[in-house]
Structure 1
Amino acid sequence: MPSDLEGFPVIIELPVQWGEMDAFNHVNNVSYFRYFESARIAYIERLGYIETMNATGIGPILASARCEFKRPLTYPDKILVGIRVSDMGTDRFTMQFRIFSQKLHKIAAEGDGVIVSYNYRERRRAPIPDEVRRRIEELEGRAFPISPRE
Protein backbone atom coordinates (compact mmCIF):
# COMPACT_ATOMS: atom_id res chain seq x y z
CA MET A 1 0.00 0.00 0.00
CA PRO A 2 1.37 3.47 -0.83
CA SER A 3 2.57 5.47 2.18
CA ASP A 4 0.28 8.30 0.99
CA LEU A 5 -2.65 6.18 2.18
CA GLU A 6 -1.33 5.33 5.65
CA GLY A 7 -3.92 6.15 8.28
CA PHE A 8 -6.86 5.41 5.99
CA PRO A 9 -8.60 2.32 7.41
CA VAL A 10 -10.71 1.70 4.31
CA ILE A 11 -9.12 1.70 0.86
CA ILE A 12 -10.83 0.60 -2.33
CA GLU A 13 -9.41 0.09 -5.81
CA LEU A 14 -11.33 1.36 -8.82
CA PRO A 15 -10.54 1.37 -12.54
CA VAL A 16 -10.67 4.63 -14.43
CA GLN A 17 -13.31 4.09 -17.11
CA TRP A 18 -12.99 5.35 -20.70
CA GLY A 19 -16.42 6.99 -20.41
CA GLU A 20 -15.23 9.16 -17.51
CA MET A 21 -12.95 11.13 -19.85
CA ASP A 22 -14.18 14.52 -21.05
CA ALA A 23 -13.43 16.88 -23.95
CA PHE A 24 -10.30 18.08 -22.14
CA ASN A 25 -8.84 14.55 -22.34
CA HIS A 26 -8.88 13.85 -18.61
CA VAL A 27 -11.37 12.41 -16.12
CA ASN A 28 -14.28 14.80 -15.60
CA ASN A 29 -14.59 16.38 -12.15
CA VAL A 30 -17.95 14.71 -11.51
CA SER A 31 -16.26 11.30 -11.51
CA TYR A 32 -14.13 12.22 -8.50
CA PHE A 33 -17.28 12.65 -6.43
CA ARG A 34 -18.44 9.22 -7.62
CA TYR A 35 -15.12 7.77 -6.47
CA PHE A 36 -15.67 9.43 -3.08
CA GLU A 37 -19.19 8.01 -3.00
CA SER A 38 -17.95 4.47 -3.68
CA ALA A 39 -15.44 4.76 -0.83
CA ARG A 40 -18.05 6.30 1.47
CA ILE A 41 -20.46 3.42 0.83
CA ALA A 42 -17.68 0.85 1.42
CA TYR A 43 -16.90 2.52 4.77
CA ILE A 44 -20.58 2.71 5.77
CA GLU A 45 -21.07 -0.94 4.85
CA ARG A 46 -18.08 -1.89 7.05
CA LEU A 47 -19.81 -0.13 9.94
CA GLY A 48 -23.09 -1.97 9.44
CA TYR A 49 -24.78 1.44 9.20
CA ILE A 50 -27.18 0.24 6.50
CA GLU A 51 -28.48 -2.49 8.81
CA THR A 52 -28.86 0.09 11.59
CA MET A 53 -30.80 2.33 9.21
CA ASN A 54 -33.08 -0.51 8.15
CA ALA A 55 -33.81 -1.39 11.79
CA THR A 56 -34.14 2.10 13.29
CA GLY A 57 -34.74 4.50 10.42
CA ILE A 58 -31.57 6.39 11.43
CA GLY A 59 -28.87 6.48 8.79
CA PRO A 60 -26.30 8.64 7.06
CA ILE A 61 -27.01 11.48 4.66
CA LEU A 62 -24.41 13.58 2.85
CA ALA A 63 -24.62 17.26 3.86
CA SER A 64 -21.64 18.61 1.91
CA ALA A 65 -18.71 17.48 -0.21
CA ARG A 66 -15.52 19.15 -1.37
CA CYS A 67 -12.70 18.08 -3.69
CA GLU A 68 -9.26 19.53 -4.31
CA PHE A 69 -7.90 18.37 -7.66
CA LYS A 70 -4.13 17.88 -7.58
CA ARG A 71 -3.34 15.99 -10.80
CA PRO A 72 -5.52 14.97 -13.73
CA LEU A 73 -6.49 11.33 -14.05
CA THR A 74 -6.60 9.71 -17.48
CA TYR A 75 -7.64 6.38 -18.93
CA PRO A 76 -6.24 3.78 -18.44
CA ASP A 77 -5.44 3.89 -14.74
CA LYS A 78 -6.37 2.18 -11.51
CA ILE A 79 -6.90 4.35 -8.48
CA LEU A 80 -6.90 3.71 -4.77
CA VAL A 81 -9.41 5.70 -2.76
CA GLY A 82 -8.71 5.99 0.95
CA ILE A 83 -11.32 7.16 3.44
CA ARG A 84 -11.24 7.97 7.14
CA VAL A 85 -13.26 9.85 9.72
CA SER A 86 -11.47 12.99 10.92
CA ASP A 87 -13.92 14.28 13.53
CA MET A 88 -17.28 13.42 15.00
CA GLY A 89 -20.02 15.39 16.71
CA THR A 90 -23.25 14.22 18.29
CA ASP A 91 -25.15 14.07 14.99
CA ARG A 92 -22.52 14.32 12.25
CA PHE A 93 -19.01 13.28 11.26
CA THR A 94 -16.48 14.40 8.67
CA MET A 95 -14.91 11.93 6.26
CA GLN A 96 -11.63 12.62 4.48
CA PHE A 97 -10.91 11.15 1.06
CA ARG A 98 -7.67 10.68 -0.83
CA ILE A 99 -7.36 9.42 -4.42
CA PHE A 100 -4.03 7.85 -5.38
CA SER A 101 -3.21 7.18 -9.05
CA GLN A 102 -1.38 3.90 -9.56
CA LYS A 103 -0.23 5.09 -12.98
CA LEU A 104 1.19 8.39 -11.70
CA HIS A 105 2.24 7.03 -8.28
CA LYS A 106 0.94 10.26 -6.79
CA ILE A 107 -2.08 11.74 -5.05
CA ALA A 108 -4.57 12.90 -7.68
CA ALA A 109 -7.18 14.47 -5.39
CA GLU A 110 -8.21 14.99 -1.78
CA GLY A 111 -11.52 15.97 -0.32
CA ASP A 112 -13.93 15.69 2.52
CA GLY A 113 -17.59 15.22 3.19
CA VAL A 114 -19.84 15.95 6.13
CA ILE A 115 -22.21 13.11 6.94
CA VAL A 116 -25.25 13.86 9.08
CA SER A 117 -27.05 11.20 11.08
CA TYR A 118 -30.62 11.45 9.85
CA ASN A 119 -33.91 9.93 11.00
CA TYR A 120 -35.54 9.06 7.67
CA ARG A 121 -38.85 8.24 9.35
CA GLU A 122 -39.15 11.59 11.14
CA ARG A 123 -37.23 13.57 8.48
CA ARG A 124 -34.82 15.28 10.86
CA ARG A 125 -31.31 15.04 12.29
CA ALA A 126 -30.70 12.39 14.92
CA PRO A 127 -27.82 11.53 17.23
CA ILE A 128 -25.32 9.08 15.78
CA PRO A 129 -26.36 5.67 17.16
CA ASP A 130 -24.02 4.55 19.95
CA GLU A 131 -23.22 1.31 18.15
CA VAL A 132 -22.24 3.19 14.97
CA ARG A 133 -20.07 5.60 17.00
CA ARG A 134 -18.36 2.63 18.67
CA ARG A 135 -17.72 0.93 15.31
CA ILE A 136 -16.22 4.12 13.85
CA GLU A 137 -13.88 4.45 16.83
CA GLU A 138 -12.96 0.77 16.55
CA LEU A 139 -12.29 1.02 12.80
CA GLU A 140 -10.28 4.24 13.21
CA GLY A 141 -8.42 2.90 16.25
CA ARG A 142 -9.11 5.95 18.40
CA ALA A 143 -11.76 7.71 20.44
CA PHE A 144 -13.46 10.85 19.14
CA PRO A 145 -14.29 13.56 21.65
CA ILE A 146 -17.41 15.48 20.68
CA SER A 147 -16.29 18.15 18.23
CA PRO A 148 -16.61 21.75 19.49
CA ARG A 149 -18.38 22.70 16.25
CA GLU A 150 -21.65 21.33 17.57
Structure 2
Amino acid sequence: MRHIYRCPLRWADMDAYGHVNNVVFLRYLEEARIDFLFRPDKDFKQGSVVARHEIDYKRQLVHRHAPVDIELWVTEIRAASFTITYEVKDDDVVYVRASTVIVPFDFEQQRPRRLVPEEKEFLREYTDEVSAGDPDDEEAVAA
Protein backbone atom coordinates (compact mmCIF):
# COMPACT_ATOMS: atom_id res chain seq x y z
CA MET A 1 0.00 0.00 0.00
CA ARG A 2 1.13 3.57 -0.62
CA HIS A 3 0.49 6.72 1.37
CA ILE A 4 -0.50 9.77 -0.68
CA TYR A 5 0.12 13.32 0.48
CA ARG A 6 -1.37 16.27 -1.45
CA CYS A 7 1.40 18.86 -1.31
CA PRO A 8 0.48 22.49 -1.95
CA LEU A 9 2.87 24.57 -4.03
CA ARG A 10 3.73 27.94 -2.55
CA TRP A 11 4.80 31.10 -4.34
CA ALA A 12 8.06 31.14 -2.33
CA ASP A 13 8.91 27.62 -3.59
CA MET A 14 9.84 28.79 -7.06
CA ASP A 15 13.10 30.09 -8.43
CA ALA A 16 13.58 33.10 -10.71
CA TYR A 17 12.35 31.06 -13.71
CA GLY A 18 9.06 30.00 -12.12
CA HIS A 19 10.23 26.43 -11.46
CA VAL A 20 10.00 24.84 -8.06
CA ASN A 21 13.52 25.11 -6.66
CA ASN A 22 15.18 21.71 -6.37
CA VAL A 23 16.08 22.10 -2.67
CA VAL A 24 12.39 22.76 -1.94
CA PHE A 25 11.72 19.13 -2.84
CA LEU A 26 13.45 18.12 0.41
CA ARG A 27 10.83 20.10 2.32
CA TYR A 28 8.07 18.46 0.27
CA LEU A 29 9.47 15.02 1.17
CA GLU A 30 9.64 16.05 4.82
CA GLU A 31 6.00 17.19 4.77
CA ALA A 32 4.93 13.87 3.23
CA ARG A 33 7.02 11.88 5.72
CA ILE A 34 5.53 13.75 8.70
CA ASP A 35 2.03 13.26 7.31
CA PHE A 36 2.78 9.53 7.02
CA LEU A 37 4.53 8.88 10.34
CA PHE A 38 2.63 11.19 12.69
CA ARG A 39 -1.08 10.66 12.08
CA PRO A 40 -3.76 10.50 14.76
CA ASP A 41 -4.65 6.90 13.81
CA LYS A 42 -1.08 5.51 13.52
CA ASP A 43 1.43 7.66 15.33
CA PHE A 44 5.06 6.61 14.95
CA LYS A 45 5.49 7.48 18.62
CA GLN A 46 9.20 6.93 19.06
CA GLY A 47 11.73 9.42 17.73
CA SER A 48 13.64 9.08 14.48
CA VAL A 49 16.27 10.94 12.45
CA VAL A 50 17.12 11.06 8.76
CA ALA A 51 20.36 9.26 7.93
CA ARG A 52 20.42 9.70 4.14
CA HIS A 53 18.48 11.18 1.22
CA GLU A 54 18.80 10.25 -2.44
CA ILE A 55 16.94 12.34 -5.01
CA ASP A 56 16.61 11.88 -8.76
CA TYR A 57 15.18 14.93 -10.51
CA LYS A 58 13.20 13.74 -13.54
CA ARG A 59 11.41 16.89 -14.79
CA GLN A 60 11.12 20.52 -13.81
CA LEU A 61 8.01 21.35 -11.85
CA VAL A 62 6.56 24.69 -12.89
CA HIS A 63 4.84 26.60 -10.12
CA ARG A 64 1.04 26.59 -10.33
CA HIS A 65 -1.88 26.73 -7.93
CA ALA A 66 -2.70 23.00 -8.04
CA PRO A 67 -0.97 20.72 -5.53
CA VAL A 68 1.21 17.75 -6.49
CA ASP A 69 0.83 14.23 -5.13
CA ILE A 70 3.63 12.65 -3.18
CA GLU A 71 3.28 8.89 -3.04
CA LEU A 72 5.43 7.15 -0.50
CA TRP A 73 5.96 3.58 0.59
CA VAL A 74 8.45 1.54 2.57
CA THR A 75 11.05 -0.41 0.57
CA GLU A 76 13.24 -1.75 3.36
CA ILE A 77 12.80 -2.54 7.04
CA ARG A 78 15.86 -3.43 9.07
CA ALA A 79 16.40 -3.87 12.81
CA ALA A 80 17.51 -0.27 13.32
CA SER A 81 16.50 1.58 10.15
CA PHE A 82 13.94 1.72 7.39
CA THR A 83 13.78 3.23 3.92
CA ILE A 84 10.93 5.31 2.53
CA THR A 85 10.70 5.76 -1.23
CA TYR A 86 8.79 8.63 -2.84
CA GLU A 87 7.45 9.84 -6.16
CA VAL A 88 6.46 13.48 -6.56
CA LYS A 89 3.98 13.55 -9.42
CA ASP A 90 0.69 14.51 -10.90
CA ASP A 91 -1.28 12.31 -13.25
CA ASP A 92 1.37 10.30 -15.12
CA VAL A 93 4.19 12.85 -14.85
CA VAL A 94 6.91 12.07 -12.30
CA TYR A 95 9.00 15.07 -11.27
CA VAL A 96 11.13 13.47 -8.57
CA ARG A 97 11.95 9.99 -7.33
CA ALA A 98 13.65 9.84 -3.95
CA SER A 99 14.42 7.69 -0.95
CA THR A 100 15.19 8.42 2.68
CA VAL A 101 16.88 6.14 5.19
CA ILE A 102 15.46 6.76 8.65
CA VAL A 103 17.04 5.64 11.91
CA PRO A 104 14.92 5.27 15.05
CA PHE A 105 16.42 7.44 17.76
CA ASP A 106 16.16 7.65 21.54
CA PHE A 107 16.28 11.37 22.27
CA GLU A 108 16.57 10.89 26.04
CA GLN A 109 19.70 8.74 25.73
CA GLN A 110 20.89 10.53 22.57
CA ARG A 111 21.55 7.35 20.58
CA PRO A 112 20.04 5.21 17.82
CA ARG A 113 17.66 2.43 18.84
CA ARG A 114 15.97 -0.58 17.26
CA LEU A 115 12.49 -0.48 15.81
CA VAL A 116 9.87 -1.78 18.21
CA PRO A 117 7.42 -4.47 16.98
CA GLU A 118 4.51 -1.99 16.70
CA GLU A 119 6.59 0.26 14.44
CA LYS A 120 7.58 -2.67 12.23
CA GLU A 121 3.96 -3.74 11.96
CA PHE A 122 2.91 -0.21 10.97
CA LEU A 123 5.70 0.03 8.37
CA ARG A 124 4.87 -3.38 6.86
CA GLU A 125 1.39 -2.09 5.96
CA TYR A 126 3.11 0.27 3.50
CA THR A 127 5.77 -2.08 2.20
CA ASP A 128 5.93 -2.85 -1.50
CA GLU A 129 9.22 -4.72 -1.29
CA VAL A 130 11.03 -5.88 1.85
CA SER A 131 14.72 -6.72 1.72
CA ALA A 132 16.23 -9.68 3.48
CA GLY A 133 16.73 -7.46 6.51
CA ASP A 134 19.41 -7.14 9.12
CA PRO A 135 21.08 -10.42 10.15
CA ASP A 136 20.78 -9.28 13.78
CA ASP A 137 17.02 -8.90 13.37
CA GLU A 138 15.34 -11.76 15.25
CA GLU A 139 12.50 -11.98 12.73
CA ALA A 140 14.91 -12.22 9.78
CA VAL A 141 16.90 -14.97 11.52
CA ALA A 142 13.73 -16.93 12.31
CA ALA A 143 12.50 -16.81 8.69
Q: Which runs of 5+ in 1 are unaligned?
A: 1-6, 54-58
1:90 maps onto 2:79 in alignment: yes
How many matched pairs? 134
1:136 to 123, 128, 134: 123
Identity of aligned residues (%): 25
Deviations 1:20-58 (A, max 9, x none): 111233110111111100111111124411xx22xxxxx
Shift of 1:143: 6.6
Task: Structure 2: state its 5+ residue gaps.
Answer: 138-143
How far off its partner does 1:144 sit? Answer: 6.3
Alignment partner, residue 126 of structure 1:
113
Cα distance in 2 for partners of 1:147, 1:79 equals 35
Contact 1:91–1:126 (8 Å) recurs in 2: yes
- In the TM superposition, structure 1's runs of 4+ consecutive aligned residues that sit over 6 Å from their partners are 141-144
Give TM-score, length-normalised by structure 1: 0.79
Q: Does structure 2 conserve the Cα–Cα contact (< 8 Å) formed by 1:87 and 1:147?
A: no
Query: Within the alignment, does 1:63 sit opposite 2:51 as a pair?
Result: yes
Aligned with residue 21 of structure 2, among 17, 28, 32: 28
Kindly indicate which of the two structures has a greater share of residues assigned to helix: 1
CA RMSD for the aligned pairs?
A: 2.3
